[in-house]
Amino acid sequence: MKNVQHSRRNFLRLAAGATLAASTLGLPRMALAAPFAPDKPATPDAALKELLDGNLRYIRGRLRHPDQRPGRIAEVAKGQHPFAVILGCADSRVPPEVVFDQGLGNLFVVRVAGNIASDDVMGSIEYAVEELNVPLVMVLGHARCGAVTATLNAMDQGATVPAHISSLVEAIKPVAQQVSRDTPDRVDVVVRKNALHAADQLRHESEILHEKLSSGTLKIVSARYNLDDGRVELIG
């Protein structure tokens, strides 16, 4: 076991060195990217299970706080091998590492109010999938999202929202307009549709992600976080 760990460390060190050498020489780095860490889920389904298991630990109060020990800092300083991308809202009540009981280097988190798939967001996710071989992307909306509520209020009142907040509203509006004003639980219906819409955008507007999906090495799912009990449910 010790030998296996030792040789793995050497291999990772070699891989990291090769990546550095390749970038120095101007060679494509992607071909020499470090392999996926074998002690982390390497398939889309295993990654999804790890996330949902972590969320169960969180809501049951049985946290393990994996990969949060002090030695982990030095481990991930050598390179990162996250097993999932979370596109989540910036809302302070939905921090992915906490709600999925994960630690340093496990999740590649992209957070923006309303969990919208803007160009910068999509670029960040493409980087994680292409360069870091992350097998799972989860778009994580949440109950009573402020960005969704602000969009609906702006639409209902025909009001403009101040400054750069308008870019968030404009991104959510096309989804919100599909839901009639008298729909029960309207905010929540739009929250769900918005998370599904962002996932669809990732599937269809990114060549990199589309290719990975076609080869079966990537899965993109949508989910909703319940502010009241902490549970993450898959949607769609």
Residue type, 84: A
Q: Considering the complex, what minimum distance in angstroms separates the CB of residue 90 from Zn ion?
A: 7
Give the residue with the Cβ less far from Zn ion, 33 or 172. Answer: 172
Q: How far is the CB of 57 from Zn ion (least distance, A)?
A: 23
Q: Judged by CB under 5 A, which stretch of 19-27, 37-45, 96-104, 141-149 contacts Zn ion?
A: 141-149
Q: Rule CB under 5 A: is residue 89 a binding residue for Zn ion?
A: yes
Of the candidates 208, 220, 94, 85, the one whose C-alpha atom is nearest the C-alpha of residue 147 is: 94
Pick the closest to residue 233 from 113, 117, 121, 143 (CA basis).
143
According to CB under 5 A, which one of 50, 85, 91, 172 is a site residue for Zn ion?
Answer: 91
Instruction: Give 15 or 98: the residue with its C-beta nearer to Zn ion.
Output: 98
Stretch that binds Zn ion, among 21-29, 53-61, 73-81, 139-147 (CB under 5 A): 139-147
d(CA 221, CA 200): 9
- The three-state secondary structure class of 202 is helix
DSSP assigned state of 162: P
- List binders of Zn ion among 142-201 (CB under 5 A): 145
96 or 135: whose CB is closer to Zn ion? 96
Annotated binding-site residue? 197: no
Q: How far is the CB of 65 from Zn ion (least distance, A)?
A: 25
Instruction: Find out whether 139 and 191 touch, Cβ atoms under 8 Å.
Output: no
50 binds Zn ion, rule: CB under 5 A: no
Q: Which CB sits closer to Zn ion, 105 or 114?
A: 114
In the bound complex, what is the minimum distance in angstroms from residue 84's beta carbon to Zn ion? Answer: 19
Q: Are 172 and 193 in contact (CB under 8 A)?
A: no
Question: How many whole angstroms separate alpha carbon 213 and alpha carbon 31?
Answer: 19
Instruction: Report the C-alpha gap between 105 and 83 in whole angstroms.
Output: 9
Cβ proximity to Zn ion: between 33 and 116 the closer is 116
Of 22-30, 56-64, 88-96, 150-158: span binding Zn ion (CB under 5 A): 88-96
Residue 156 marked ligand-binding: no
Angle subtended by helix axes 186-205 and 146-157, to nearest 10: 110
145 annotated as ligand-binding: yes
| 44-52, 68-76, 91-99, 208-216 -> range binding Zn ion (CB under 5 A) | 91-99
**Parallel, antiparallel, or unpaired: how do β-strands 84-88 and 107-111 relate?**
parallel
Across 178-192, b (16+ Cβ under 10 Å) vs e yields ebeeeeeebbbbbbb
Residues that bind Zn ion (CB under 5 A): 89, 91, 145
- Residue ranges for the known binding site for Zn(2+) are 89, 91, 142, 145
